[in-house]
Amino acid sequence: MTAFALRGLLLRKLRTALTGVAILLGVAMISGTYVLTDSISNAFDAIFTQTYRGTDAVVSGKSAFNLSDSGTTTDPSFDESLLPKVQALPDVDAALGGVAGEAQLIGRNGKAIVFGGAPNLGFSVDPTQARFNSLTLVSGSWPKAGEVVVDRSTAGKKDIAIGQQIGVQAQGPVERLRVSGLVKFGAVSTIGGATLAGFDLKTAQHLFAKVGRLDQIRVAAKKGVSPQKLQAEIRSILPPGTQVRSGNQQATSDAKDTNSFVGFLQKFLLSFGGVALFVGAFVIANSLSITIAQRTREFATLRTIGASRRQVLRAVILEALTIGVLASVIGLFVGLALAKGLFKLFDAVGFTLPNNGLTLETRTIVVALVVGILVTLGASLRPALRATRVPPIAAVREGAELPPGRFHRFRGIGAAATALLGFAALAYGLFGSGLGTTTVLLSMGVGALLIFVGVALFSSRIVVPLAHAIGFPATRVGGAAGVLARDNAQRNPQRTASTAAALMIGLALVTLVATLAASIIGTFNSAVDDLAGGEFYAITAQNNYSPIPVSAAEAAANTPGLDGLASVRAGDVQVFGNTRQMTAVDPTIGKIITLNWKKGSQAVFANLGESGAFIDDGFAKNHDLSVGSGFPILTPTGRNIVLTVEGIFKPPAGGSPFGPVTISSKTFDANYAQPENLFTFVTMRGGVTDANKSALEQSLAKFPNAKVADGDQFKKDQASGLKSTLNILYVLLALSILVSLFGIVNALVLTVFERTRELGMLRAIGMTRRQVRRMIRAESVITSLIGATIGIVLGLVLAALLIVRVDEINFFTPWGQVVVFLVAAILVGIVAAIFPARRAARLNPLEALQYE
């Protein structure tokens, strides 16, 4: 039987290959994800190890509590007088003080050089202490006062040459520095899209507004002194607000953010690999079912000559196993290529990742193979069981068909029940109260899975009317070919439904994310309109989200024709034991932004004073606060302040510019080391005009990192990050759509094979090759449109469910995208039909007249 099963596969090479591709792509996605994320992790590890090589201890500033990773607040700096004290310690061989921060390089066009969302790192370098220096000079010389070294990759991309003057903007207005040399970072080939700028210590302290202060002291111990002893020695002289850690601990702490990012990226990409495999499972189950239906007579013959049911089962499962193993092994290696492609993809959407060569871990190999093989086996179970039910008598019957399964009668009910169970699980995850994150994600995941399976099974019931409606244009345009195509699509509803189901899943997910994005953007836009109307300008960072120095807003305040200007600052704060984002506003902001006050009024903005705060209604409810209540906060600098509630507002659906707690910018500035603005809102006399815009830009000329946008542009800019995310999601989901495309190709090839005699008859009685091709193509398009229609509806329903759960978003239907998806489905149908249609057209009409 083993030989029989394997020979069968060889005989049906094409079908085997097409079936395998479905699994191959899913496995490739999984192995590609692991390779990608492992490679990124390794690159980051290399970066951080490189940074702290030769360092036995690191002294750094310490916040009063653990900061969030929002980037609005950094650890405080400390006085540089600590450095000589450390250097004087008996066990210290060498110690080097440094500062670091965001430093924008300004390109020749006067614009800030930014590669996607990658950071612009600036820091002091000291070439005399080579042991602490993680940079290697490629050409030129190390920077002296008023000079800068730039990383080779940025210099190459932006045409920066040694000796030229370049603009650098950090905390103050832009300054012109001379490029003294080009550097690279250790042995790492790329550090993502990050730009590097190195200065001598004095220049760096000036640029980062940290004159007389340090962010870090790196210390090397004398020979024979253990790092522990060194750290203990340093700890004894540390002032408050500082800490000492080993080089490794510091590297781990620095890597914390990137590790959680890589971990997230891994789960994120794996889930798309999972979707592709899930779709692949549908494709395999469908292909195997069709092949087995076609081989009814073969199985019956085997049974008559003495094969047991168990042997038939084993033969079919062995076939699936062989396909699964081959596809998984190939998929594993395709994954390596895919990882390269993903690096390029993220690069293309402006999200460059660090790359230090591809890493293939044993774990990747094991997981990819095991998952690929198990999914294939799981998908083959049902078809294999059906094969065992072929009675021996079918061997001698003309046109024998597979007997319906024992539970055939309950199929419709079962399918509906599965889908309902799925919706119930999803709803439980969404609306159940007091559930842990794992429970929520698990019940939502299982729910989605059940919904897809249930809808796929149930859809055979609605295929006939759907095909009738969708096929109508085909019957008008395609003549006899169109009519027959529609009839063919309705002929075996179960098969059409299974084929369409694979595409249905992909399109449901695509529609889901498109709808969520459209809803988030739509709600955000109306929130901005409610808060500020359209007649305002916003000053943000070029990348739309980084905080910008307060000095930029001060420069903009001098613009002629300015009517009102108010900034929103943000920083981490500890309140009721949690780290939250606190915002701060200028008293004038009430002129520009109008809030929906539940308690208090617009006057609150101007009357916050030293210790006043306004809070959102959720925060008020959670902590039982009302106007006049006091509550304590802890700032990163270690100050305890008791705030008094002056007003309570209801945040608009779609996003609030203010966090749960908002104080006056005056109090904020007094308690944060380096206050920065998230946004500055400006109104001008005469409203939004070209002249007003250029006047604002004129006064911000020294802040190239600042961007002036009018209300409409501001809305678009804020949505742009979401749109790039959406584009990444589309590309990733395209993979599962590609899998379903192969599914359609496979089903059509099998169908053409099955209808050989019929096609021969049609050719004999006068159907041209062109008509045959048109017929297959139309059937393919009808099938994919059935999948698309069900998928889009399902996607909208799922999105609606999620949006109902989240009060902050209102539902918006992305009509434009829905049309695009339908067109894409038509294209999928056309592309899928190319090969099967050609095969069908080439059939010899003689086939119709030949009988066994």
Partner 1 sequence: MKGSEEDAKLETMSEAITAAVPAATEIEHTGPVVSAKEVTRRYGEGDTAVDALRGVSLDVGRGQLTAVMGPSGSGKSTLMHILAGLDRPTSGEVYIAGTEISKLGDNDLTKLRRRHIGFVFQFFNLLPMLTGEENVVLPLTIAGTKPDKAWVDDLLSRIGIADRRTHRPAEMSGGQQQRVAIARALVSRPTVVFADEPTGNLDSSTSGEILTLVREAVDTYGQTTVMVTHDAHAASIADRVLFLGDGRVVRDIGRSSSTDILRAMEEIGSR
- Nearer to partner 1 by Cβ, of 375 and 747: the residue is 747
Of 208, 224, 226, 228, whose CA–CA distance to 216 is shortest?
208
- First CA to last CA distance, the chain: 25
Residue with the two structure tokens 């049902």: 382
Is there binding between residue 764 and partner 1 (CB under 8 A)? yes
The only residue of 344, 409, 476, 770 in contact with partner 1, by rule CB under 8 A? 770
The length of the chain, given as a count of residues: 852
What residues contact 766, with CB distance under 8 A and at least 6 apart? none
Is there binding between residue 14 and partner 1 (CB under 8 A)? no
Is there binding between residue 418 and partner 1 (CB under 8 A)? no
Is there binding between residue 758 and partner 1 (CB under 8 A)? yes
Distance of CA 430 to the CA centre of its chain: 21
What residues contact 577, with CB distance under 8 A and at least 6 apart? none
Contact code string over 479-518 relative to partner 1, x by CB under 8 A:
xx--xx--xx-xx---------------------------
The only residue of 184, 693, 716, 757 in contact with partner 1, by rule CB under 8 A? 757
Is there binding between residue 88 and partner 1 (CB under 8 A)? no
Of 98-106, 196-204, 762-770, 801-809, the segment contacting partner 1 by CB under 8 A is: 762-770
CB of 267 to partner 1, least distance (A): 43
- Nearer to partner 1 by Cβ, of 717 and 847: the residue is 847
Is there binding between residue 839 and partner 1 (CB under 8 A)? no
- Nearer to partner 1 by Cβ, of 218 and 777: the residue is 777
Residue with the two structure tokens 């008996």: 90
The only residue of 245, 715, 763, 839 in contact with partner 1, by rule CB under 8 A? 763
Sheet of strand 92-98, all strands in order from the earlier edge strand to the far edge: 92-98, 216-221, 57-61, 242-245
Of 243-251, 255-263, 297-305, 841-849, the segment contacting partner 1 by CB under 8 A is: 841-849
- Nearer to partner 1 by Cβ, of 187 and 765: the residue is 765
- Contact between 489 and 783 (Cβ < 8 Å): yes
The only residue of 158, 569, 591, 773 in contact with partner 1, by rule CB under 8 A? 773
CA 792, CA 810: separation in Å to the nearest integer? 19
Six-digit token string for 143: 């920077």
Of 20-28, 226-234, 366-374, 764-772, the segment contacting partner 1 by CB under 8 A is: 764-772
Of 65-73, 315-323, 757-765, 781-789, the segment contacting partner 1 by CB under 8 A is: 757-765
- Nearer to partner 1 by Cβ, of 114 and 484: the residue is 484
The only residue of 64, 155, 728, 762 in contact with partner 1, by rule CB under 8 A? 762
- Nearer to partner 1 by Cβ, of 189 and 768: the residue is 768
- Nearer to partner 1 by Cβ, of 302 and 484: the residue is 484
- With left for phi above 0 and alpha for psi between -120 and 50, is residue 306 left, alpha or beta? left
The three state secondary structure string of 101-126 is EECEEECCCCCECCCCCCCEEEEECC
Q: Which burial class, exposed, middle or buried, applies to 635 when counting CB atoms under 10 A from its CB (0-12, 13-18, 19+)?
A: buried
The only residue of 202, 257, 768, 816 in contact with partner 1, by rule CB under 8 A? 768
Query: In the beta sheet, which residues pair with residue 57?
Result: 219
Of 202-210, 241-249, 477-485, 564-572, the segment contacting partner 1 by CB under 8 A is: 477-485
- Nearer to partner 1 by Cβ, of 7 and 408: the residue is 408
The three state secondary structure string of 542-567 is CCCCCCEEHHHHHHHCCCCCEEEEEE
What residues contact 456, with CB distance under 8 A and at least 6 apart? 282, 415, 497, 498, 501, 504, 505
The only residue of 10, 11, 305, 765 in contact with partner 1, by rule CB under 8 A? 765
- With left for phi above 0 and alpha for psi between -120 and 50, is residue 656 left, alpha or beta? beta
Six-digit token string for 576: 């009721």
CB of 838 to partner 1, least distance (A): 8
Is there binding between residue 701 and partner 1 (CB under 8 A)? no
How many residues of this chain bind partner 1 (CB under 8 A)? 27
CA 541, CA 544: separation in Å to the nearest integer? 5
540, amino acid identity: T
- Contact between 829 and 782 (Cβ < 8 Å): yes
Give the CA angle between residues 234, 238, 243 to the nearest 5°.
85
At 238 the three-state DSSP class reads: coil
- Nearer to partner 1 by Cβ, of 815 and 851: the residue is 851
- Nearer to partner 1 by Cβ, of 488 and 559: the residue is 488
Is there binding between residue 766 and partner 1 (CB under 8 A)? yes
Residues near partner 1 (CB under 8 A): 479-480, 483-484, 487-488, 490-491, 757-758, 761-771, 773, 845-846, 848-849, 851
